[in-house]
Amino acid sequence: MREERLRVEVIIGSVREGRIGPRVAEWIVDHIRARPEFDCGVIDLVDAALPMDFSSTPETEAFRRRIDRADAFVVVTAEYNHGYPAALKTAFDTLKYEWRGKPVGFVSYGGPAGGVRAVEQLRQVVAELHMVSVRQSIGFQSARKQLAAAEVDAMINDSAQRMLDQLTWWANATRTCAATSPYPG
């Protein structure tokens, strides 16, 4: 197994004006960066400029390389109309092989359910991409209020640690396996 830290990319899925996604991402990035096993980056889809027709562009190729280098992902998603943002679906659909065999965790927000409906739909999408969705996820209810007050519920903070523990296990397992045997999908 490589001795280097696990590369985790946090993907901000909402591109709407007035979104809280970057603040939610900042919160989870703080948790990730507090752990020595991780090296963390952030991909904000508002800056990604991925074409809707999935054509090959310099932006698409840069996105491809970045996804390929990652060991794991944390997706920060809003819930819009009981679903996930279109920009996030475009990001997943833009690539195919680069996602395969990699774990993903979810941090969601929106609506009274804290974005859980968006996450449940995304679990189907990532399964089709041959990704490993970790069991623990984080669903923020009243995310703006909690983050503004800097008083995130203890249960939410505990969920973050559990999700990152699972992401670490899966990222180490898939990295080790991929070093000796390519993913068969």
Q: How far apart are CA 40 and CA 56, in angstroms?
A: 26
Tell me, what's the pLDDT at 105? 98
Domain housing 116: 6-169
What is the pTM for the complete model shown?
0.95
175 within domain boundaries: no
Asked whether the predicted pLDDT for residue 136 surpasses 80, the reply is: yes
DSSP 37: T
pLDDT confidence band for 57 (50 / 70 / 90): very high
pLDDT confidence band for 3 (50 / 70 / 90): low
pLDDT confidence band for 2 (50 / 70 / 90): very low
* CATH number, residue 89: 3.40.50.360
Q: How far apart are CA 180 and CA 177, in angstroms?
A: 6
Q: Which residues pair with 44 in a beta bridge?
A: 12
Q: Give me the number of domains the chain comprises.
A: 1
104 within domain boundaries: yes
Please check whether residue 77 is in contact with residue 24, taking contact to mean a CB–CB distance below 8 angstroms.
Answer: no
Q: Name which of 13-22, 25-34, 54-63, 152-161 the model is least confident about.
A: 152-161
161 within domain boundaries: yes
